[in-house]
Amino acid sequence: MKFGCCISLEQAYIAETIGFDYLELPVRNLMPEAKERNFNPVLLKISSLKIVPEVFNLFIPPDLKIVGDTVDEIRLDYYIKNAIRRASVIGGKIIVFGSGGARQVPENFSREIAWDQLKLFLKKVRQIARHYGIIIAVEPLNSQECNILNSVEEAWKLVKEVGEPEIKLMIDLYHLQQGGETFSRTEYLKSHLVHVHVADSGRSYPGSGSYDYNSFFRDLKTLSYEQRISVECHWDNLEQEAPRALRFLKKKWYGVEQAGEK
């Protein structure tokens, strides 16, 4: 299992010293709407890191709509092409598609049309992602942050309807808890799950709250999940709390038995 940290580029050096296996950076660090000459200094900075940003999150900014009557297809096309290409150049493997603001269904807008727009968006993204060897991980968000794709089952339904190998599913323990959703250990997850986010109660760092990591990790092990787990939480003191979080996760992951084992 690889353990990573959702962090800003300015804080990346801290993750290096703590011992995380990879970084998860915001897509905005890739400056998708900027020209190459403006991005080059950032590319050099990221390339100089000893730890690779294998995952990127916050794919589409809130003002760049995917759903509704104000979708700017030209701007959107330019953005996703640059984002995916630049992620690939610096070692990216996965881009998380949460982007609650961008996919929020406007009031009185048809949910059927919104659903079709999401499918169209993912099919468009898939073409670019395939070329650059990137996987897009669809993230269910709780209903406080978005009004569509609020459960694992709903997100899986979208992934299944898109039906492309570059479009997969991820889960976030915080959103599961906020939505009161029971994590389902089903075969559809086994074939589609590619990424995991974790936090603790109050979105604090893992090990500081009351979430049941024993059960959560046991369910992941039942699915034979062995890819990446990223900490995505609120930090009060990153340098002190991140090492505690990483120790906690490793202890829980390697200490939890798979269901059925003794």
Indicate the range of 16-20, 94-98, 102-106 predicted with least confidence: 16-20
Residue 260: pLDDT band with limits 50, 70, 90: very low
Rounded average pLDDT over 159-187: 90
CA 195, CA 90: separation in Å to the nearest integer?
Answer: 19
**In terms of DSSP bridges, do strands 22-26 and 228-231 run parallel, antiparallel, or are they unpaired?**
unpaired
Report the chain's C-alpha Rg in angstroms. Answer: 18
- Give the per-residue pLDDT at 233: 98
- Give the per-residue pLDDT at 23: 97
Helices (H), 1-72: 12-18, 36-47
Residue 182: pLDDT band with limits 50, 70, 90: confident
Rounded average pLDDT over 135-144: 97
Burial of 92 (0-12, 13-18, 19+ CB in 10 A): buried
11 vs 187: which has the higher pLDDT:
11
**Where are the chain's structural domains?**
2-255
Compute the half-sphere exposure of residue 200: CA atoms within 13 Å on the CB side of its CA: 18
Closest residue by Cα to residue 139 from 182, 91, 173: 173
**In terms of DSSP bridges, do strands 53-57 and 22-26 run parallel, antiparallel, or are they unpaired?**
parallel
Structure tokens at 254: 């390697």
Examine the pLDDT at 262 and tell me if it is beyond 50. no
- Give the per-residue pLDDT at 185: 64
- Give the per-residue pLDDT at 43: 95
Q: What fold characterizes domain 2-255? A: TIM Barrel (3.20.20)
Instruction: Kindly report, residue by residue over 112-123, the tens digit of the pLDDT.
Output: 999 999 999 999
Rounded average pLDDT over 19-43: 97
For the chain, percent of residues with pLDDT exceeding 70: 96
Average pLDDT, the chain: 94
Examine the pLDDT at 258 and tell me if it is beyond 80. no
**In Å, how far are 33, 62, 98, 171, 188 from 28, measured between CA atoms?**
9, 12, 14, 22, 31
- Give the per-residue pLDDT at 184: 66
Looking at 99-256, which runs of residues are DSSP E strands? 135-138, 167-172, 193-198, 228-231
Q: At which residue do the structure tokens 């942050």 appear?
A: 145
